Chain A
């Protein structure tokens, strides 16, 4: 079956530090990969996505590259801000099948200190 593994949190960083949140996956075929973000008290929002190998998704200074050879989709940001404090979820959906619901990782909480 499909699964997503994320690094456990919380991750605590100082403002302007470099961020990496690791994500690896197991799936049949070539899934589409996503990062969702959940700010306190809110629902999940799509942060970025990639649909094929070597694609790079990017948004709001965050980036992630679809690495088929290592089955990874690590999230990075060069300089985090306090406003980036949230829970980040890596997820996948299988392609080219009739049923496409998301499989989520367990989430990684990021805390950015001023």
Chain B
């Protein structure tokens, strides 16, 4: 079984709808992240959480919210989806060791907003 899972893997929705993307991990890591990937822009950080009670905005948090329900679960919500939120979304986890963070990524969720 995969260590980091994301559901759904694909989603098509309409403008104005509320969408939730879910991420679960079995790696036992305390840190979790949400990124979006757009062609030619690499990955950009939306939100990150260093433990259940510690949630922080990334560089592109506008229009998104998150919930860290447990150490193993981190959900991303789009309260009112718009077409420019069409992208590939990745969840990642990490556990700091020796002053560096190696991140482990889920398979991604492809979201299309019509």
Instruction: Report whether B42 and A95 are in contact in the complex, using a CB–CB cutoff of 8 Å.
Output: no
Instruction: Report whether A95 and B40 are in contact in the complex, using a CB–CB cutoff of 8 Å.
Output: no
A79 CB to closest chain B CB (Å) equals 27
Q: Is the interface of B mostly helix, strand, loop or mixed?
A: strand
A93-B100, A104-B42, A105-B42 as given contacts; A42 in contact with B107, CB under 8 Å: yes
Count residues of A near B (Cβ-Cβ below 8 Å).
Answer: 23
Count residues of B near A (Cβ-Cβ below 8 Å).
Answer: 27
Instruction: Report whether A104 and B90 are in contact in the complex, using a CB–CB cutoff of 8 Å.
Output: no
Q: Mark A32-71, 1 if CB is under 8 A from B, else 0.
A: 1010100000111110010100000000000000000000
With a cutoff of 8 Å between Cβ atoms, the chain A residues found around residue B104 in the complex are 46
Instruction: Report whether A96 and B105 are in contact in the complex, using a CB–CB cutoff of 8 Å.
Output: no
With a cutoff of 8 Å between Cβ atoms, the chain B residues found around residue A32 in the complex are 99-101
Does B48 touch A at the CB level, under 8 Å? yes
Instruction: Report whether B58 and A101 are in contact in the complex, using a CB–CB cutoff of 8 Å.
Output: yes
Instruction: Report whether A44 and B96 are in contact in the complex, using a CB–CB cutoff of 8 Å.
Output: no
Q: Mark A88-109, 1 if CB is under 8 A from B, else 0.
A: 0100010110011110111100
With a cutoff of 8 Å between Cβ atoms, the chain A residues found around residue B90 in the complex are 43-44
- Among A51, A89, A102, point to the contact of B98 (Cβ < 8 A): A51
With a cutoff of 8 Å between Cβ atoms, the chain B residues found around residue A45 in the complex are 105
With a cutoff of 8 Å between Cβ atoms, the chain A residues found around residue B92 in the complex are 44, 102
Q: Which residues of B25-56 are within 8 A (CB) of A?
A: 33, 40-45, 48, 50, 56
A97 CB to closest chain B CB (Å) equals 10
With a cutoff of 8 Å between Cβ atoms, the chain B residues found around residue A96 in the complex are 99
A89 to B96, CA, bound (A): 21
Instruction: Report whether B40 and A106 are in contact in the complex, using a CB–CB cutoff of 8 Å.
Output: yes
A107 to B106, CA, bound (A): 18
- Among A44, A51, A93, A100, point to the contact of B105 (Cβ < 8 A): A44
A42 to B105, CA, bound (A): 9
A11 to B94, CA, bound (A): 30
A32 to B92, CA, bound (A): 17
In the complex, besides A49-B100, A51-B100, A106-B41, 8 extra interface pairs with C-beta distance below 8 angstroms are A32-B100, A44-B90, A99-B50, A100-B96, A102-B45, A102-B103, A105-B42, A106-B40
